[in-house]
Chains A and B, each alone.
Chain A
Amino acid sequence: MGFSTITFLFYFLPVALVLFYLAPGKARVPMLLASSYLFYLWGSPTGAAVLLAGTVFDYLMGNALHHAARQRDKKLLLALSVAVNIAVLFYFKYMNFFMGELNRALTFFDWGAIHWTAVIFPVGISFITFHKISYLVDIYYGRVEPARSFAAYALYLAMFPKLTQGPIVRYHTIAGQLTRPAFTLDDVFEGIIRFCTGLAKKVLIADPLSTVANPIFSMDISSLTVGQAWLGTLCYTLQIYFDFSGYTDMAIGIGRMIGFTIPENFNRPYYSQSFTEHWRRWHITLGGFFREYLYIPLGGNREGNAKTYRNLWIVFLVTGFWHGANWTYIVWGAYHGFFIFIERLLLLEKMKKWPSALKIAIFFLLLCIGFVIFRSETITGAFLYIGRMFDVTAVGAIPSPNLLANLIGNRELFVLAVALAITFFPQPLYDMLRFRLTSWSGPRGVVAMKITAASLILILSLISLINNSFSPFIYFRF
């Protein structure tokens, strides 16, 4: 169940919140747990079953880890529990891909393909697995005690605001809130404002941009013009940010409404001057997870340059593969790893003297190209698309049946301009405006402005959402 669906907005969320607020203190955790499972059952029944089984396993393993007396036993238990979780993730997320590749190779050598029934992918399993690993590793290192109750741990994994798309909440950062979530009226108010902001980002910006990007990326490369290729890339790059950060805003907002601090996941990631900076601003919790649970255990940057670079490459290849079971994601991860590597090796020092605007522009251009790889179905498709973007000989030479006006309307053009303005609005100017507005209007004025803006974008989002469901025909040939 997506956050921007009628089911969620008008049924699930209001009912879940009302039950949560009405429940007495001790009943809130079980109530939230029940609603989270209902949320997951609705969106992914298979996933809910896998989640429940995994929760029991981790809970038992966590306790065993904590109580194991010998370091060797602890290590063994950790290795076993992490391996089981990775195996489950591999089976549900990557087995179809792996078998597909294997069968392709077998067919190539005329050895006959292995019969394989596709596995249903449980939504959010990648995020859930990382939460599980975080719990087990945190217990192993003694950062936290195991969850006081099964319900508390189950809620940590299943909490619906962050269940399917994160952010990744490391166990030790939220353990305290899991037994008795506390909230104030301010939390509820700010949570609603944040939720409305996220909904607007998704519905008013990301969705219209997707109506431009999707048809362009599904066009035959022979009829794709250079301009269309750039337009599709730009729209997709902005779409993915506003979609994902919109979802995160909604998750953080809901979390706040029910007394949980869900960490920030984005900090104007396209307003970065390098890939290194970008990864401190983009999908922050994923970067943090990999740093803490992969990069540092691998040795981080403590064992010389060669090992640091090796570790970075590993992290980015895994990051790419974590995003999806396709070669395109691995190449996308490698693409980012390559630039991080180059920046560390050569550029970061030299780039210090370059003007900030130039660095942001160069970075954004390279980022856009990376997203073509990410968005494409195949590696070949990605390279053909990128080739078309830079094919100067094709400018004005490709007769495309798709006119620009058919691909992008006035509203989408406006949305594109707004998205670009939000993305690249200079930070110092933004800080100054915010400061002046706050000082000028005072605390009450700020509240009034928030209420007005939230109400407006909520109404606009809802009518847009409802209108998108209405696709009538004049005559339906019946």
Chain B
Amino acid sequence: MLAKKIFIGALCAFIVLILVQTYLKPFGDMILSGVEVKARPSISSPNDVMSGTFQDTVEAWLKQNIGFRGYSVKSDNQINYSLFNEFSRSHPRRIILGKNKQLYELPYIDNYNRNTVLPRKDMEAQVADLKKLQQALARKNIRLLLTITPSKASIYPEYIPDKFINHDNLLKEDNYQILLPLLRRYGVDFLDGREMFIGFKKAGVPNIFPTSGSHWSLYGAYLFTEKLIERMEGLLGRRMVHIESKRIITSREPIELDKDIARLGNILFTRSLFTEYLYPDTRTDAPANVFRPDILIVGSSFCWNFIEYLDRHRTFSRMNFYYYFNTDYLYPGKKRMAIEKDSFDWHRAVSPRDLIIIEANEIALGEIGYGFIRACLDAIGQ
């Protein structure tokens, strides 16, 4: 009888503890990584209650704010990782645990499996628009460069668990293979990061993608930035600031994006996912009269790592980064502003530039520029 009483009492205490932690937070909790849409319960009309919308948002809010949520989420994920050798399946972009602790996000593997191949005519329409924009900009003495950034899944497919590879599909052309000949045929200026990284891999360059990250490593991005500056110089015909590596530092503590998926895995012992990482110790090579262009970059989260180098070494006079063409980051200073696509001022945004870089990752070749190209062409009436 005593055991039963103790059990009932402990259960009551447990519920009280959770509620106290929910509202008063006397104990620390583990911080969860990732961006989440916050639930905000509100009633704007009686229909919100009658239809259950209000009740649903209350439940969502309670789930998001329950005491010890961090410990709960991480414990469950740790069980998945330790017992079942996988990450939670509830993530919108599922994380796949590959061989040698290589982590992948599922959309990159889907792209490798050619699950979302764009029809050739759609791809050609995009390339034709790119060419039109390149020509329009050239008339204003502005250069346009398309950079294709690589996907970890296509550079390191050997670490993808076999059960996630659709072997039947691999003989098909992927978006990249469709795009490349079109870019050449239309004469669009581009820098092929995938080819570059396959070259690095063949040459035995290690750590161009981190095991614990989804994006290229800082080291890989550094190697890319060197080539990018070379290419910009070619297009602009001017000597720009160069970035040189004094030495390569080896670390077991990844920085920023090099651990993005590991952090998103939200397990209790994230460090168990870390391996070895390389970081170049860089210095600026900027002789007198060096040219610092005014640059506009439009692209995805792959840009952060090379923007880091461009910014740190002041390779530009001014630079804007249109993140997914919905947020504008102004450098130097990384001042953030929202982009109003409906009232996008093409002349103000584009006319003063020396160079526009459009970054497209392999998995986003169906949406190059995220609407920026069309917005520009509409603005100039094409």
Contact = CB atoms under 8 A, between A and B. Distances in A.
Contacts of B168: 399
Given A7-B59, A401-B166, A409-B84, A474 B35 contact: yes
B115 interface: yes
A190 B22 CA distance: 28
Interface string B231-264: 0000000000000000000000000000011001
B86 to A, nearest CB: 5
A466 B327 CA distance: 32
Given A466-B69, A471-B90, A474-B34, A411 B84 contact: yes
A466 B49 contact: no
Interface string B147-171: 0000000000000010111101100
A477 to B, nearest CB: 4
A463 B91 contact: no
A10 B35 contact: no
B301 A470 contact: no
Given A409-B86, A466-B72, A6 B34 contact: no
B75 interface: yes
Interface string B72-105: 1101110110011110111111000000000001
Interface in A144-174: none
B288 interface: no
Contact of B32 (A11, A185, A470, A477): A470
B73 A476 contact: no
Contacts of A447: 3-4
A189 interface: yes
Nearest to A403: B166
B92 A5 contact: no
A120 interface: yes
Nearest to A212: B89
User: Most A CB atoms within 10 A — which of B33, B73, B165?
Assistant: B73
User: Most A CB atoms within 10 A — which of B33, B50, B260?
Assistant: B50
Given A10-B66, A403-B163, A475-B35, A467 B76 contact: yes
Interface stretch (A22-30, A41-49, A338-346, A360-368): A41-49
A185 B84 CA distance: 39
A475 B107 CA distance: 14
Given A10-B18, A473-B92, A474-B260, A467 B73 contact: yes
Contacts of A186: 4
Contacts of B15: 10, 14
Given A10-B19, A45-B49, A470 B36 contact: yes
B287 to A, nearest CB: 37
A447 B88 CA distance: 34
Contacts of A45: 49-50
Interface size class of B (residues with CB under 8 A): 35 or more
A475 B86 CA distance: 21
Query: Main secondary structure on chain B at its contact with chain A?
Result: helix
B5 interface: yes
A467 B161 contact: no
B214 interface: yes
Given A192-B8, A414-B84, A469-B60, A463 B163 contact: no
Contacts of A473: 34-36, 92-93
A7 B62 contact: yes
Interface in B294-324: 301, 323-324
Contacts of B1: 185
A411 B36 contact: no
A98 B19 CA distance: 46
Contacts of B175: none
Given A7-B59, A192-B8, A414-B84, A475 B301 contact: yes
Contact of B8 (A189, A401, A463, A469): A189
A462 B14 CA distance: 12
B109 to A, nearest CB: 9
A478 interface: yes
A468 B72 CA distance: 10
A11 B22 CA distance: 12
A406 B35 CA distance: 23
A451 to B, nearest CB: 5
B115 A401 contact: yes
Given A189-B8, A451-B3, A467-B72, 8 more contacts: A46-B50, A403-B166, A409-B84, A451-B7, A469-B60, A469-B64, A471-B92, A477-B323
26 contacts: A6-B59, A6-B66, A7-B59, A10-B22, A14-B12, A185-B1, A189-B7, A189-B8, A401-B113, A403-B165, A410-B86, A411-B80, A451-B4, A454-B7, A455-B7, A463-B75, A466-B63, A466-B72, A467-B76, A469-B60, A469-B64, A470-B69, A471-B92, A472-B92, A473-B92, A477-B326
